[in-house]
Amino acid sequence: MNKVGIVGIGTTQFKARWIDKTYYELAYDAAKLALEDAGIGKKDVGGVVYGIYNEFFERQFMPDVYIHNYIGMGGKPSVRVATGGATGGAAVFVAWSWIAAGLYDTVMVLGVEKATDNYNYTVGHPTPETLKAILFSGDMTFENPMGLTAAASYALPLIAHINKYGTPTERQMAMVSVKNHKNAMNNPIAQSPKLLTVDDVLNSKMITYPFKFYDNCLYSEGASAIILASEDKAKALTDNPAWISGVGLSLDKAFAGERDDMTIFTSSQYAGRDAYAMAGIKHPRTELDFAELHDAFTGAEILSYEAFNLCGPGGGGALIEDGVVEMTGDLPVSPSGGLIGCGHAVGATGVMQTGEAALQVQGRADKRQVKNARVGLVQSIGGPATAWTAAMIIERIDTVKAKPAAQKKARRPGTRRT
Amino acid sequence: MIQNKEQWLEEASRKIKVPKELIARAFHEELEGNPAIDAPLEVPDIMDITYKYTYGGISRFFRELRDNQQLYGTKCTTCGTVWLPPRINCNECYAPTTWVKLGDTARIVTYTIVYYATSVFYGKTPYVCAFVKVDGADTLIMQNVFLKDVRQAKVGMKLKIQFKENRNGDMGDFWFVPAQEAL
Ligand SMILES: [Zn+2]
């Protein structure tokens, strides 16, 4: 397999509504930013992988074909990925495979979402209609009619976990909300930068038990693009590329009632296992310098610590309580603010997170820079009850890593080690 | 500027099936204001498809619900797993299944309480969504549990099935209540 680098990153503002842009105008803005960042033109792009989640959001089936035209890529290879909330991450996975296979030298990943053109006229607000659009993703015969919501889909495994381990507590979940809103204050594209207290979160109104208002991410509109390149191309374009050294993708049983254990994010466990193996990571808790996790809801971030083996089963709550995942801790999680702080422009989210991880290892993350960030994990979750996960290890390989635990073996990205 | 406001509202209302007053409220600025020629212009729309879809091989499940108030699962002819929701084949064995009658009792394996719902469930909150294990089935099915106070929901809570009076042959034909409340 060929090595795959990240050589260009461009993300628009994530915000509640881009009333002055259509989805293809937004996509264009991110594409332009990423091309400029890479120092290349559209003629240099070998193909484009689109991440766009929901037809009812965009008010358009096959929205990718019109974006491809709009950004001047007509005639080039292209495919759209739609894997629910994991759309952005899975789009990165597909683009990675095109370069790893040697098909193209340069591939653009372009994620975009217009989530709030939906509108509920009774309430005078988009959200209930946006939720309705999402719920067409629940099995239409057996699950959609039950009144499930995206939050409920995460709450079901979470309540099972709380029943088994007693954690995470509502206070631990609130601490994740405080952290991610606060991290977002260092991120100029973030939708919800806020200084909150744990009590602010605990006292906010109940949305879906046990998630209160501030435990939820908000719907965002935005676009994010990254340019992936083969090793030769990446080295020619920049002396400071980020490398995708491991990838993993898993789709667990979507009828969650068939699962053996409801308390584990199994898809994250499998995607993480594969990404770690490819990147040669044996002890993620010490080898990772940071992570950008899919905190669609606070409890999901905590269960993700466990799924990615950053702690044992039931130990996730302690990681936030002990400050490990804070910017001041030794494994900061979601320096960007994550979905809760930065926003969740679904198809764009996983692309944005991958770009954020690349900025971290390149030392370009400005105020949200994690010191000596060399290896980071990206997680993108989607589907009913977290059925999908795409995971990526993003790292910088110019020098020997600073952490002794990681020095046991020299690693080359793109080399599977078993 | 919209030339004939009343006619525009009537056409919009017919198109998106929303009362005129609500459309007028949402488009107040466009109707009554004086937006610049290049200000973002929003328009009302709806995406609407009608169906006559088939339940295929599990049609009997819904007929048993509708006509006989009876919950059925399916049993794999090879591994014996009893599936609910039912399926006519097993995804482990790739073997066919046969229909089996299930009990009318169940318990909550996990649940959540929805306080903020989609447009479809507007006005019906709060309600409980749960994965329940029906006696006789090996897998869990998602269903609503109706409680006098939603906060009584608990993992392990014993339930009894209840059927709707006028059944349509869909998942809304039944739900669960706490076992001690059902008589
Ligand atoms: Zn079987």
Give the pLDDT of residue B182.
63
Domains of chain A plus CATH, in order, are: 4-118+219-235 (3.40.47.10)
- pLDDT category of residue A410 using cuts at 50, 70 and 90: very low
Partner A contacted by B88 (CB < 8 A)? no
Tens-digit pLDDT profile for residues B78-123: 999 999 999 999 999 999 999 999 999 999 999 999 999 998 898 8
Element of type H or E holding B60 = helix B59-68
Asked whether the beta carbons of residue B22 and residue A149 sit closer than 8 angstroms, the reply is no
Average pLDDT over residues A246-268: 97
| CA A207/CA A358 separation, integer angstroms | 34
Nearest Cα neighbor of A390 from A3, A23, A5, A82 is A82
* Single pTM value for the model: 0.95
Closest by Cβ to B172, choosing from A128, A145, A152: A145
B107: which chain A residues are within 8 Å (Cβ-Cβ)? Answer: none
How far away, in angstroms, is B136 Cα from ligand 1 center?
Answer: 16
Position A211 pLDDT exceeds 60:
yes
Written in H, E and C, the secondary structure of B110-178 is EEEEECCCCHHHCCCCCEEEEEEEECCCCCCEEEEECCCCHHHCCCCCEEEEEECCCCCCCHHHEEEEE
How far away, in angstroms, is B75 Cα from ligand 1 center?
Answer: 8
Paired strand residues for B83:
B74
- Best residue in A258, A259, A260, A265 to probe B by mutation, most B CBs within 10 Å? A258
| CA A97/CA A76 separation, integer angstroms | 17
Give the pLDDT of residue A417.
38
Partner A contacted by B18 (CB < 8 A)? yes
Q: Provide the 3-class DSSP secondary structure of residue B20.
A: helix
Q: Is the Cβ–Cβ distance between B142 and B130 less than 8 Å?
A: yes
- Best residue in B111, B116, B171 to probe A by mutation, most A CBs within 10 Å? B116
Name the percent of chain A lying above pLDDT 70.
95
- pLDDT category of residue A397 using cuts at 50, 70 and 90: confident
How far away, in angstroms, is B82 Cα from ligand 1 center?
Answer: 9
Burial (CB < 10 A; 0-12, 13-18, 19+), residue B131, is buried
Give the pLDDT of residue A403.
44
Tens-digit pLDDT profile for residues B156-178: 999 999 999 999 999 999 999 99
- pLDDT category of residue A418 using cuts at 50, 70 and 90: very low
DSSP, residue by residue, B94-105 = --BEEEEE--SE
Q: Is the Cβ–Cβ distance between A265 and A307 less than 8 Å?
A: yes
| CA A237/CA A105 separation, integer angstroms | 12
Residue B88: DSSP 8-state? S
Q: Minimal Cα–Cα distance from A407 to chain B, Å? A: 42
Give the pLDDT of residue A203.
98
How far away, in angstroms, is B53 Cα from ligand 1 center?
Answer: 27
Average pLDDT over residues B56-70: 98
Q: Is the Cβ–Cβ distance between A196 and A203 less than 8 Å?
A: no
Tens-digit pLDDT profile for residues A41-80: 999 999 999 999 999 999 999 999 999 999 999 999 999 9
Give the pLDDT of residue B32.
95
- pLDDT category of residue B148 using cuts at 50, 70 and 90: very high
How far away, in angstroms, is B61 Cα from ligand 1 center?
Answer: 19
Asked whether the beta carbons of residue A209 and residue B112 sit closer than 8 angstroms, the reply is yes
How far away, in angstroms, is B85 Cα from ligand 1 center?
Answer: 14
Residues of chain A whose beta carbon is less than 8 angstroms from a beta carbon of chain B are: 19-20, 56, 59, 119-124, 127-129, 131-132, 134-135, 141-143, 145-149, 151-152, 155-157, 159-160, 163, 205-209, 255-258, 262
Give the pLDDT of residue A327.
98
Average pLDDT over residues A237-266: 96
How far away, in angstroms, is B59 Cα from ligand 1 center?
Answer: 20
Give the pLDDT of residue B183.
54
Give the pLDDT of residue A413.
45
Q: Minimal Cα–Cα distance from B80 to chain A, Å? A: 14
Asked whether the beta carbons of residue A156 and residue B112 sit closer than 8 angstroms, the reply is yes
- Return all residues near B179 (Cβ < 8 A) that are at least 6 apart: B105, B158, B159, B160
Closest by Cβ to A143, choosing from B18, B115, B142: B142
Asked whether the beta carbons of residue A20 and residue B122 sit closer than 8 angstroms, the reply is no
Chain B residue whose CA is closest to A125: B26
B171: which chain A residues are within 8 Å (Cβ-Cβ)? Answer: 141-142, 145-146
- pLDDT category of residue A118 using cuts at 50, 70 and 90: very high
* ipTM score for this prediction: 0.95
Written in H, E and C, the secondary structure of chain A is CCCEEEEEEEECCCECCCCCCCHHHHHHHHHHHHHHHHCCCHHHCCEEEEECCCHHHHCCCCHHHHHHHHCCCCCCCEEEECCHHHHHHHHHHHHHHHHHCCCCCEEEEEEEECCCCCCECCCCECHHHHHHHHHCCCCCCCCHHHCCCHHHHHHHHHHHHHHHHCCCCHHHHHHHHHHHHHHHHHCCCCCCCCCCCHHHHHHCCEEECCEEHHHECCECEEEEEEEEEEHHHHHHHCCCCEEEEEEEEEECCCCHHHCCCCCCCHHHHHHHHHHHHHHCCCCHHHHCCEEECCCCEHHHHHHHHHHCCCCCCCCHHHHHHCCCCCCCCCCCECCCCHHHHCCECHHHHHHHHHHHHHHHHHCCCHHHCCCCCCEEEEEEEECHHHCEEEEEEEECCCCCCCCHHHHCCCCCCCCCCC
| CA A344/CA B135 separation, integer angstroms | 40
